[in-house]
Amino acid sequence: MSAGQGGGIYHYAGAPATSWACFARETFALAGRDVTVTDIPSADYPTPAARPLNSRLECRAIETDFGIEQPDWKAALAEVIHEVSA
């Protein structure tokens, strides 16, 4: 598929890949909160559906086809925390 044709499924997420626990730790740290976040395996988190061991989004196609790069999620999170805190 060449750029501009569209179609198919594209994933888009910040980079690098991270876990929910790491994302939470960074959120609390940027907000100036002293919170302990404990990692748990997906198997220990009860959900009706089975969770995959690796659920990272593959985002290469959107960059290859459209030149859209993954933003740094930590920088974007810092901007959001700053805006919310203002």
Burial of 51 (0-12, 13-18, 19+ CB in 10 A): exposed
Domain spans, the chain = 20-46+55-85
Mean pLDDT throughout 21-28?
96
Q: Pick from 24, 53, 47, 48: which is nearest to 37 by CA?
A: 24
Please report, to the nearest 10 degrees, the dihedral formed by the alpha carbons of residues 56, 57, 58, 63 taken in order: -130
pLDDT given for residue 63 in this prediction: 92
Model confidence pLDDT, tens digit, residues 42-77 = 778 888 988 777 888 899 999 999 999 999 999 999
**pTM for this one?**
0.77
What is the rounded average pLDDT of the residues 11-34? 94
